[in-house]
Structure 1
Amino acid sequence: MGTLKPHHRKNTLSQYNLLDYDATRTAGKYNIPTLEPVDHVPTKLQGFNYVLNKPNYSAGVHFFLDDYQFERVWKRPDFYIDKLADFDCVLTPDFSLYTDMPLAMQVWNVYRSRLIGQMMQNWGYTVIPTVSWSLKESYEFCFDGIPTKSIVAVSTIGIKKSKDRIKVWQDGMDAMIDKLKPKKILVYGGHIDYDYKGIEVYYFANDTTERMDKWEAEGQALE
């Protein structure tokens, strides 16, 4: 097997952000980058898609969006991480874990989320881990790299569309709480019937839904 020439190696390391990968700060079977614990609750969350054109620096930045809206953070991390410096805090990117997605892709998305989070912590930011999961097979890796007895963020967007989705979400919450024992949980996107077992929970409304409700109310007022 041949070896990469120096300039090819540098380009490869840069393309996959391996220059920022620290093998001494990983966890689990798949070497998922680890995050340091934090204890911070933002008063408001703003989507990453508004960071450049309508920033609210008093808010924390979330990535509970379609992946295409923040894939650029992985491709140009230094550029976009720099844009997050003045916000209250930042949640780690919520790269999707779909139930019909191959496990290899799910591991890759968990890895990317944690590495970007670790990079942001290296820059001195307050970083809150976003936790997501799919089916029970994902529990082997989807919680790796997240500190125990800390604070985490989860999303309920799209969960209420079916009983099956609710069940997957509830099972994953059970597994997450059992493994991470979080001190506090930020829940973005609305209430789901669930017993959080005495953990402090902070709810944040879906800002897209809020805007749609506002537009609808304004439209009715004009009629």
Structure 2
Amino acid sequence: MNKKRKAILDDGCCPELVSGAEFDGIFEIPIIKKPEKIIIPKMIVPFSERNKVKDRKQAIIGFYEMDPQFASVLISPKDFIDEFKSYGGVISPDCSLYRDATLSAQITNVYRNRVVGSFFQRKGIYVIPQIRWGSAETYTTSQFPEKIAFLGVEKKSIVAIGTYGCIKHAVDKYHFKAGLEAMLEELEPDVVLVYGSMPDSIFGDYLHSTRFVQYDDWTKIMHGGDR
């Protein structure tokens, strides 16, 4: 009887996903390489809503939703290779980095993000790294000599971040802005895609640092009827 894989850490941490990968840092995080040409997508569509897009090549798939919604991609990314090739690309999975989660869990979800993103990239899919930080230990060197949240991403490239649901309270805004500043200093990205709002109180100080491209969240797009 075949045993169904339940999580990305089954079967020896899925060694087939890192075949041919390069690694970064003390935790050997798989690297999502800078693309030969930076392509800015017309729209970002959530994974669970991807079949509602009329022109797939104009859209890139994002994972700005609850983790169970895209668990199938984490569990068996190879099942999505052909489908994802029909889109303009994918943003690496936005695995949750809750500030109150253990640091080991946060590091694991950085790994999940990069391992799946690098796997798709090596299969010929255009991949933009999703950058997510959690507690201060992930975006500073207070705990480790490296800023964990930014490992596995090359400098002066294109990255994506999400504000949707992440800047509701004062403490959320504080950590988001602190992590944003750390990310800009560490990665020096040429382009930053922003899924969700860009309040001036958070982004105003950094608009000169790089090119930001803002995308409305899917709920707002649906209410506006723009697909």
Give the structure-1-normalised TM-score.
0.85
Say yes or no: does 1:158 pair with 2:155.
no
Task: Report the equivalent of 1:210.
Answer: 221
Partner secondary structure for residue 160 of structure 1: coil
Instruction: Give the superposition deviation at 1:49.
Output: 0.5
Say yes or no: does 1:171 pair with 2:169.
no
Task: Report the equivalent of 2:52.
Answer: 54
Say yes or no: does 1:42 pair with 2:41.
yes
Q: What does the per-residue CA deviation read over 1:28-52, in whole Å, with 9 as the maximum and x for residues that have no partner?
A: 111100011021110111111023x
Q: What is the distance in 2 between the residues matched to 1:25 and 1:60?
A: 24
Q: What is the distance in 1 between the residues matched to 2:75 and 2:69?
A: 12
Match of 1:26 among 20, 23, 26: 23
Task: Report the equivalent of 1:9.
Answer: none
Q: Is the 8 A contact 1:156 1:192 kept in 2?
A: no
Say yes or no: does 1:118 pair with 2:101.
no
The residue identity in structure 2 corresponding to 1:49 is S
Task: Report the equivalent of 2:188.
Answer: 181
Task: Report the equivalent of 2:136.
Answer: 136
1:81-100 correspondence runs (5 A): 81-100=81-100
Q: What is the distance in 1 between the residues matched to 2:194 and 2:169?
A: 19
* Distance change >3 Å, CA 199–CA 71, structure 1 → 2: same
Q: What is the distance in 2 between the residues matched to 1:18 and 1:208?
A: 37
Instruction: Give the superposition deviation at 1:128.
Output: 0.4
* Distance change >3 Å, CA 43–CA 141, structure 1 → 2: same
Q: What is the distance in 2 between the residues matched to 1:125 and 1:81?
A: 8
The residue identity in structure 1 corresponding to 2:108 is W
Q: What is the distance in 1 between the residues matched to 2:24 and 2:134?
A: 20
Q: What is the distance in 2 between the residues matched to 1:81 and 1:110?
A: 21
Q: Is the 8 A contact 1:120 1:127 kept in 2?
A: yes
Instruction: Give the superposition deviation at 1:210.
Output: 3.2
* Of 190-199 and 175-184, the range deviating more from structure 2: 190-199
Task: Report the equivalent of 1:127.
Answer: 127
Task: Report the equivalent of 2:5.
Answer: none
Q: What is the distance in 1 between the residues matched to 2:130 and 2:16?
A: 23
Q: What is the distance in 2 between the residues matched to 1:170 and 1:109?
A: 21
Q: What is the distance in 1 between the residues matched to 2:219 and 2:13?
A: 31
Q: Which runs of 5+ in 1 are unaligned?
A: 1-11, 216-223
The residue identity in structure 2 corresponding to 1:121 is Q
* Distance change >3 Å, CA 20–CA 160, structure 1 → 2: closer
* Distance change >3 Å, CA 103–CA 124, structure 1 → 2: same
Q: What does the per-residue CA deviation read over 1:53-84, in whole Å, with 9 as the maximum and x for residues that have no partner?
A: 42440211111111010011011111123321
Instruction: Give the superposition deviation at 1:16.
Output: 2.9
